[in-house]
Amino acid sequence: MFNFSDSCWQCEKCGSTLTYNGGLHMLVIGIAILPMLLNYPIVKGLMLLFNVPFLAAWVIFAFVFVGWMVGITSFEYFVLVKEKREK
């Protein structure tokens, strides 16, 4: 279903071909951008709850969002497609 044209690459150390699971990749991307759909309520809640200015609430949201992205995308893994045979 998902055909990524540049989804395979060669390992520099061993020469094996690697790829990633396309379906899981799309799921992880969908979960990772979820906070962007809820950004206004999150920022508004920060402003009301902690009584911080508008700009400070956006900066806090940006730091939390970057942390969320790093955490969620760490669940991706690589799959060995073709192992290089030593002669």
SS (H, E, C) the chain: CCCCCCCCEECCCCCCEEEECHHHHHHHHHHHCHHHHCHHHHHHHHHHHHCCCHHHHHHHHHHHHHHHHHHHHCCCCEEEEECCCCC
Query: What pLDDT shows up at residue 10?
Result: 82
Mean pLDDT across the chain, nearest whole number? 78
Place of tokens 């920060």: 46
| Choice between 82 and 86, residue whose per-residue pLDDT is larger | 82
Q: Is the pLDDT of residue 3 over 60?
A: no
Q: Is the pLDDT of residue 15 over 60?
A: yes
pTM: 0.59
